[in-house]
Structure 1
Amino acid sequence: MARKKNFDEQEVLDKALQLFWRKGYHATSIQDLVDELGINRASMYDTWGDKHRLYLAALKRYRQYASSWFLEEIRSEKPARQIIENFLKHLVNDMIADADRKGCFVVNSTTELATMDKEVQAMVEENRRTVEQVLAELIKEGQASGQFSSAHSPESLARFIFSVISGIRVVCKTQISNRELQEVIDITLSALD
């Protein structure tokens, strides 16, 4: 008979996410996880299998958190331009508000692991495709309504915006100011005109 877990799996996963996000995969030891999560090694291995599986679960959880706000915006009746502008401003505000300057967990995973870990690479690539597809649909809608120029395809503009978003998430780990980032947002939005 399987023993009942005496911990909340999602709560522990959130703690693991925060630890991996703060330290990275390679710098996080099993002992760090045991200490931070408040569970023993056996419970961790029984639940997630190993450190790598726990990391993948944390990355998946982060993607769910990170996309929830954007999905709500998309479901609203706001014009496409306002949705994209709000998304960029929300992104900058979140990054600037993070006193630890952790950046984005997906971007951090990309730079640390994607070239050597096929599962992380697949998750990161799927994330890029999904975000670009959503942005392309918004841009297509904006072009159809006359909010955006049709000089470039929705797909190429979506790829450009995704690249800017990734760059913002990297430079936010430095001491870049909100004003400087607002300039980046303004230039990015001007590419849609």
Structure 2
Amino acid sequence: MPKVETFNRQQVLHNATEVFHKKGYNGTSMQDLVDATSLNRSSIYNSFGSKLGIFMDVLSYYHATYKRQIGKKVVSSHNASDTLNGIFDIYINDILNDNDEKGCLILNSKSEMTNQDLTIKAFIEENQEQTLALLEDIVYNGQMEKIFNKNQTPAQYALYLFTGIQGFRMTGILNKNQDDLKNLAQTIIKVLY
């Protein structure tokens, strides 16, 4: 009979996210996870299987947080332009509130771990495909609304935006000037007009 978890899984994932986000995968020890989650090692292994297991759950938890925020923005926007501006506003807000200069956990994991672990690489690739599909839909809608130009296909613009967002997130680790970030976001987006 499987053991029943007697802890708040969301809180544990939140606390583990903070540790992995600050130290990276390789820099985080099992003792760090024990300290952050208040679980003993056997509880972590029983519930998550391994350090990699809890890290994969952390990546999913982190991704789901952004997916909810962006989903709300997509639903509440009046048009594709509003949607893109809203997505960049989410990232700007995150950057301005990132006092520890941690950056984006998924982007950090992409540079740290995709060439080291196939499970993490598969997650990062899936995340990238989902993000590209979302951006392609936004661009397509903007082109149909005659807000965005048709100089490139939606897929080409989606890849451009995805690349721009990654660079934007990296820039935001060290540059917390709100005006600079807003100008940079507008520079990235204006190619579509």
Superposition TM-score, scaled by structure 2 size: 0.95
In 2, the alpha carbon distance for the partners of 1:93 and 1:77 equals 17
**Structure 2: stretches of 5+ with no match in the other structure:** none
In 2, the alpha carbon distance for the partners of 1:4 and 1:146 equals 54
Q: Could you say which residue in structure 1 is the equivalent of 2:148?
A: 148
In 1, the alpha carbon distance for the partners of 2:63 and 2:173 equals 19
Return the offset for 1:66: 1.2
Q: What is the 5 A alignment of 1:64-143?
A: 64-76=64-76, 78-143=78-143
The alpha-carbon distance between structure 1 residues 186 and 29, as it changes in their structure 2 partners (threshold 3 A), is same
Q: CA-to-partner distance for each residue in 1:88-118, whole Å, 9 max, x for gaps? A: 1221121122111111110010011011111
In 1, the alpha carbon distance for the partners of 2:127 and 2:150 equals 26
The amino acid across from 2:48 in the alignment is W
In 2, the alpha carbon distance for the partners of 1:2 and 1:64 equals 26
Identity in percent: 28
Superposition TM-score, scaled by structure 1 size: 0.95
The structure in which a higher percent of residues are helix is 2
Q: Could you say which residue in structure 1 is the equivalent of 2:179?
A: 179
In 2, the alpha carbon distance for the partners of 1:100 and 1:169 equals 14
**Structure 1: stretches of 5+ with no match in the other structure:** none
Secondary structure class of the residue paired with 1:99: coil
Q: Contact 1:19–1:36 at 8 Å: present in 2 too?
A: yes
Return the offset for 1:176: 4.5
Secondary structure class of the residue paired with 2:149: coil
Q: Could you say which residue in structure 2 is the equivalent of 1:16?
A: 16
Q: Could you say which residue in structure 2 is the equivalent of 1:40?
A: 40
Return the offset for 1:3: 4.6
